Amino acid sequence: MESIYVNIGDHVLHILLKVQFPYKSFIKNFKKILNKQSNLEITIYDDYGLPFKNYDVEITSSSNQIKYRRADYLIQVDKDFKHATIHVHNELALKHAMMNLYSAFLVHNKWGLLIHSSCAIENGKGHLFSGQSGAGKSTAAKLSFPRDLLSDEASLVKIENDSITVFNSPFRSELEAGDYQGSVELNSIQLLHQSPENNRVKLDKSDALIQLMDKVFFWPHSPEETKTIMKLLSTLVKQVPVYDLSFQKNNTFWELIS
């Protein structure tokens, strides 16, 4: 059994791996630390279910526990989000289960959101590129080289009443996490549309909120949780401008941003 402490956002997770395979490519994106005080302890087993079938997650909750069940994973977490167990079928299931659990943990703590997007740093400020699968998040991330990247698939956004910041995300698609530490102020959010021309149009706050609702990774188990997500999104769009960005598949879109 391996026991590691990792840092995500400004949280410490204690991960106990009771697994048959090493899952090195998953683990390497997490920043290991020596701290022994964790916010959430997670025990992971790889003894469960079938290979990936679909994204349907069945959520059930009892008085002291919430269960998230997919064909390839099962998460059981205490309602105070201090202890969890994850049973997975393989590495993909482990990645998705960790995203599911951590996003629920963030919303439970009203800390922030995991947003379906890539994030690049320009002049010390973060810029998010969001959209559905295929919209160009990874493309925008790759075309942002040599800027530092905080995410290529799922951005970690801390939402407070007087500041919105982005942290390095360990939940990666193609581009491995760099060792950028700390957080940066979020300066803009782009909703991506590939196009023959570059164009950037600012959205009304209400439209921005509606557009962002289905870009958040979350699996609501209660109306209260959904309300929390709405409040977090509302706090986000009050502080950060959201744009529709039509962009060519080259790096000239940055001229519209910086």
Partner 1 sequence: MAQYIQSGEYDATELDGEWIILNTDNYTVTKINEVGGECWALLKEVQTVDSLTQEIGEKFSSAIPISQMKKDIETFLSQLSECGLIKNVD
Q: How far apart are CA 198 and CA 200, in angstroms?
A: 7
- Report the phi/psi class of residue 114: left, alpha or beta, with left for phi > 0 and alpha for psi in -120 to 50: beta
The minimum distance between CB 244 and partner 1, in angstroms, equals: 16
Token pair for 56: 């349907």
Which of these, 54, 224, 236, lies nearest to 158 by C-alpha position?
236
**210 lines the binding site for partner 1 (CB under 8 A):** yes
**50 lines the binding site for partner 1 (CB under 8 A):** no
The minimum distance between CB 181 and partner 1, in angstroms, equals: 34
What is the residue-wise DSSP string for 181-227? -SEEEEEEEEEEEE-SS-EEEEPPHHHHHHHHHTTB-----SHHHHH
Q: Which of 76, 85, 234, 239 binds partner 1 (CB under 8 A)?
A: 234
Which of these, 148, 232, 247, lies nearest to 195 by C-alpha position?
247
**182 lines the binding site for partner 1 (CB under 8 A):** no
Report yes or no: 97 and 85 within 8 Å, Cβ to Cβ: no
- Complex with partner 1: residue 33 or 230, whichever CB lies closer: 230
**238 lines the binding site for partner 1 (CB under 8 A):** yes
**209 lines the binding site for partner 1 (CB under 8 A):** yes
Distances (CA, A) of 47 to 18, 24, 74, 168: 10, 17, 10, 30
The minimum distance between CB 237 and partner 1, in angstroms, equals: 7
Q: How far apart are CA 54 and CA 71, in angstroms?
A: 8
**142 lines the binding site for partner 1 (CB under 8 A):** no
Q: Which of 47, 58, 185, 204 binds partner 1 (CB under 8 A)?
A: 204
The minimum distance between CB 130 and partner 1, in angstroms, equals: 17
**Which part of the chain contacts partner 1 (CB under 8 A), choosing from 137-145, 175-183, 228-236, 248-256?**
228-236
Q: Which of 4, 33, 50, 213 binds partner 1 (CB under 8 A)?
A: 213
**Which part of the chain contacts partner 1 (CB under 8 A), choosing from 85-93, 163-171, 175-183, 225-233?**
225-233
The minimum distance between CB 252 and partner 1, in angstroms, equals: 31
**226 lines the binding site for partner 1 (CB under 8 A):** yes
Q: Which of 4, 33, 50, 230 binds partner 1 (CB under 8 A)?
A: 230
Report yes or no: 93 and 25 within 8 Å, Cβ to Cβ: no
Q: Which spans of this chain sit near partner 1 (rule: CB under 8 A)?
A: 204-207, 209-210, 213, 220, 223, 226-227, 230-231, 234, 237-238
